[in-house]
């Protein structure tokens, strides 16, 4: 059974770079049928899609965060990662990693498996 688990710091200061890792178990991140991505949810609010990567390293980001976001993949460790630079309080959220079933090119697909999420709080 596929499992995804997010890891990273829970508390950050403004202007720092957020770094999260998603470890995939029970399946290979090198499958050509999927993208691997990040979605976030501010406390008490809705879901915001951040971006995806495939096993080859092809990425697709939301335009609103594109200048501050990097998603990378390490197939040897079956992991993928998220970096968000210059964080502010507006980046406070639960960050989910999710497997996206590939429905075409350009990094899009529905999310058929999710991690439990990790809360990242940005505060001075």
Partner 1 sequence: DIVMTQSPDSLAVSLGERATINCKSSQSVLYSPNNRNYLAWYQQKPGQPPKLLIYWASTRESGVPDRFSGRGSGRDFTLTISSLQAEDVAVYYCQQYYSSPQTFGQGTKLEIK
The site map against partner 1 for 40-59 (x = CB under 8 A) is ------xxxx-x--------
The answer to whether residue 1 forms part of the interface with partner 1 (CB under 8 A) is no
Which residue is associated with the tokens 């040897």?
76
Pairing state between β 93-102 and 118-122: antiparallel
Measure the CA–CA gap between 36 and 99, rounded to whole angstroms.
5
Residue 53 near residue 59 (C-beta atoms within 8 A): yes
Q: Which of 7, 30, 62, 92 binds partner 1 (CB under 8 A)?
A: 62
3-state secondary structure (DSSP) of residue 27: coil
The site map against partner 1 for 2-31 (x = CB under 8 A) is ------------------------------
The site map against partner 1 for 82-121 (x = CB under 8 A) is --------------x-x-xx-x--xxxxxxxxxxxx----
The answer to whether residue 64 forms part of the interface with partner 1 (CB under 8 A) is yes
In this structure, how many other beta carbons lie within 10 angstroms of the beta carbon of residue 62? 14
- Among residues 115, 119, 94, 79, the alpha carbon closest in space to that of 40 is found at 94
Tell me which residues touch partner 1 (CB under 8 A).
46-49, 51, 60-64, 96, 98, 100-101, 103, 106-117
């Amino acid at each position: 059974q596929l499992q995804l688990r997010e890891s990273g710091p829970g508390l950050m200061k403004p202007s720092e770079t957020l770094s999260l890792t998603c470890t995939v178990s029970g399946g290979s991140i090198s499958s050509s049928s999927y993208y691997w991505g990040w979605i976030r949810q501010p406390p008490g609010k809705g879901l915001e899609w951040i971006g995806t990567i495939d096993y080859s390293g092809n990425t697709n980001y939301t335009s609103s965060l594109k200048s501050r976001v990097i998603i990378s993949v390490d197939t040897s460790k079956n992991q993928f990662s998220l970096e968000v630079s210059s964080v502010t309080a507006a980046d406070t959220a639960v960050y989910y990693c999710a497997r996206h079933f590939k429905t075409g090119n350009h990094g899009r697909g529905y999310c058929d498996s999710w991690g439990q999420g990790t809360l990242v709080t940005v505060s001075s």
